[in-house]
Amino acid sequence: MTLVAGEVNRQKLSASVDVVIVGAGFAGMYMVHKCHELGLSCLAIEKGDDVGGTWYWNRYPGARCDVPSLEYSYQFSEELQREWHWSEKYATQPEILRYAQHVAERFDLKRDMVFETTVTHAAWNDDTSSWCVDTDRGDTVHAQFLVMATGCLSSANKPRFPDDETFRGEVYHTGSWPHDGVDFTGKRVAVIGTGSSGLQSIPLIAEQASHLTVFQRTATYSVPANNGPNDADYEAKVMADIAGFRARNSATRSAFGGDFPTNEVSVFDVDDDERHRMLEERWDSSGLLFLGAFNDVLMSDTSNEAVAEFVREKIRGIVKDPVVAEKLAPRQTIGCKRLCLDTNYYGTFNRDNVTLVDISDAPIDRLTPNGVVTGGVEYEVDVIVYATGFDAMTGSFLKANIHGRGGLPLTEAWGAGPLTYLGLNSHGFPNMFLVTGPGSPSVLTNMIVSIEQHVNWIGECISHMRNNGHRIIEAQEQAQADWVAYVNMIAGYTLFPTCNSWYLGANVPGKPRVFMPLLGYSDYVARCEQVAATGYAGFQLSA
């Protein structure tokens, strides 16, 4: 057990602090730092045995970030930015985890963290105006503020299949990977799921396994990562004006890629040759910003289809077997589900030891002791890898068993979908802040930028409360209703609601179908600043 924080911190679990923070990923870490800056006592409670959050759990082969490493890092400390060097354009999971550990050591964050501890219940007490937080170790800690820094993609979605308990082989989920890794050498492996995690792991598993069978329910659009070592000249240029670089990125809709803005031209403003040239240019170098080749890709069906067909043609060019290529060619709106970045994903299906099983029409019927049955065929395997994603954005909040005013369970308050104001607080849950909660741009942005913006806002809000004699803050019901309507209205202008994405909760059976993130980072930041500047309009502040 690596209880680096030591038993001293454990004693705090029976005490009172100003702020309890749930989670020690990038959000929880920065929240601890913010509390230190503001002189607030705090305690972060983390299930894992170290910091890192999503990068602690997702250790599957090939795991790496799809936002360029020079952007996927904290910006609160100039020194930190200058002293850390990323080795590749897109950082690997181990390197990002090392970065998280470095930050925790450098800013002495672990002195206010406890590990290997799970929050099992959090309840607001109206009499004391404080939160009472219980853990699986039997501790209870009291705090004025509860900050949920649990991450948007941290509650694994592991679908159940009939007779799945009978399978005799090894079973893994990409979002909860063994720390010692998995050796697939000589094994027959099944991967279920072809989202980002599947696409990153499939090429590497195929290199090791004796045979890999990929079960695909929905084909996925992916563009080449074109990864490689970080260019030292480019890094030097960025560092020469790091503040300007960060400001340009923060001024965009997604909080990254400020130096490669969306071309302000529609797909059909240019002729076929020019369109093709522009898409080729982005295909070769832009990663997720491929979709920024034109400004209406996610606004117009016909524009979207032109771009989608370009990618399908690429797939047909890469995959030698035309039947397999057609199965891999997605049909839904491009960008509606998160676009993926890959290294040799489609090409992996040219290997003799890889089979693609399309389960779009015939779902997995059941598991047997020896493998997976679909369409009446049993595929015998030694290992099953679930790359089936997450109960995104709400899963980890709801799992924490939170009860607000009058004992109101969060599961009930959010029964028809998450309700928040600014994605930061929910009516009925005073003094509870959500970091990158539903209703904020979160997963549609560079997450670290959004995390810092939220933590900064929360820190300023707490300071304001302290300076003005307020003890309680809570979103007003009407402001929250208006905000939820606004988030939906913005999504409704786009093609985002047209497919079964996890943004809509459509990947989890029974989850309410609601578009959860807000589109548009820079406008959102302006709104948050305006709310703060007008004395926290839309919130009820009381003594």
Closer CB to ligand N01, residue 431 or residue 501?
501
**Range 290-349, binding ligand N01 (CB under 6 A):** 338, 341
502 binds ligand N01 (CB under 6 A): yes
The DSSP symbol for 470 reads -
Round to whole Å and give the CA distance between 210 and 540: 61
The interface region with ligand N01, picked from 104-112, 193-201, 321-329, 399-407 by CB under 6 A, is 193-201
402-403 vs 119-125, strand pairing mode: parallel
Contacts of 495 (CB under 8 A, 6+ apart): 298, 299, 300, 301, 304, 333, 335, 336
**Range 237-276, binding ligand N01 (CB under 6 A):** none
Residue that has been written with the tokens 């509870």 in this structure: 432
CB of 277 to ligand N01, least distance (A): 27
Closer CB to ligand N01, residue 91 or residue 434?
91
Number of residues that bind ligand N01 (CB under 6 A): 26
Chain residue at closest Cβ approach to ligand N01: 195
Closer CB to ligand N01, residue 388 or residue 425?
388
**Range 199-218, binding ligand N01 (CB under 6 A):** 200, 217-218
Closer CB to ligand N01, residue 199 or residue 461?
199
Among 103, 143, 147, 192, binds ligand N01 (CB under 6 A): 192
Among 73, 348, 388, 445, binds ligand N01 (CB under 6 A): 388
130-135 vs 119-125, strand pairing mode: antiparallel
Closer CB to ligand N01, residue 336 or residue 487?
336
Among 28, 52, 61, 193, binds ligand N01 (CB under 6 A): 193
Amino acid at 204: L
Contacts of 467 (CB under 8 A, 6+ apart): none
Distance linking the first and last C-alpha atoms of the chain: 42
153 binds ligand N01 (CB under 6 A): yes
Q: For residue 483, give Cα distances in angstroms to 418, 422, 514, 517.
A: 11, 7, 14, 12
H-helix or E-strand spanning residue 396? helix 395-399
Among 69, 117, 196, 442, binds ligand N01 (CB under 6 A): 196
The answer to whether 103 and 80 have CB atoms below 8 angstroms apart is yes
195 binds ligand N01 (CB under 6 A): yes
Among 5, 109, 209, 364, binds ligand N01 (CB under 6 A): 364
The interface region with ligand N01, picked from 31-39, 285-293, 381-389, 481-489 by CB under 6 A, is 381-389
Closer CB to ligand N01, residue 130 or residue 218?
218
Q: Which of 341, 458, 319, 535 shows the shortest CA–CA distance to 32?
A: 458
Closer CB to ligand N01, residue 45 or residue 65?
65
453 binds ligand N01 (CB under 6 A): no
The interface region with ligand N01, picked from 196-204, 252-260, 344-352, 488-496 by CB under 6 A, is 196-204
Q: Which of 37, 43, 5 shows the shortest CA–CA distance to 23?
A: 43
Q: How many residues does the structure list for the chain?
A: 543
E-strand stretches of 278-423: 340-342, 354-358, 364-368, 371-374, 377-380, 383-386, 402-403
111 binds ligand N01 (CB under 6 A): no
CB of 447 to ligand N01, least distance (A): 9
Round to whole Å and give the CA distance between 505 and 259: 32
Among 50, 433, 507, 521, binds ligand N01 (CB under 6 A): 507
Closer CB to ligand N01, residue 139 or residue 342?
342
3-state class of 514 per DSSP?
A: coil
Closer CB to ligand N01, residue 135 or residue 442?
442
428 binds ligand N01 (CB under 6 A): no
Round to whole Å and give the CA distance between 34 and 27: 10
117 binds ligand N01 (CB under 6 A): no
Round to whole Å and give the CA distance between 117 and 137: 7
3-state class of 375 per DSSP?
A: coil
CB of 502 to ligand N01, least distance (A): 5
H helix runs in 225-378, sequence order: 232-240, 242-250, 272-285, 301-318, 322-328, 345-348
Closer CB to ligand N01, residue 339 or residue 462?
339
**Range 50-89, binding ligand N01 (CB under 6 A):** 65-66
Amino acid at 225: A
Closer CB to ligand N01, residue 488 or residue 500?
500
Closer CB to ligand N01, residue 77 or residue 498?
498
3-state class of 361 per DSSP?
A: coil
211-216 vs 354-358, strand pairing mode: parallel
The interface region with ligand N01, picked from 79-87, 254-262, 303-311, 387-395 by CB under 6 A, is 387-395
288 binds ligand N01 (CB under 6 A): no
366 binds ligand N01 (CB under 6 A): no
340-342 vs 371-374, strand pairing mode: unpaired
The interface region with ligand N01, picked from 197-205, 237-245, 282-290, 420-428 by CB under 6 A, is 197-205
Using CB under 6 A, list all residues that contact ligand N01. 65-66, 153, 159, 174, 192-198, 200, 217-218, 338, 341, 364, 387-390, 443, 500, 502, 507
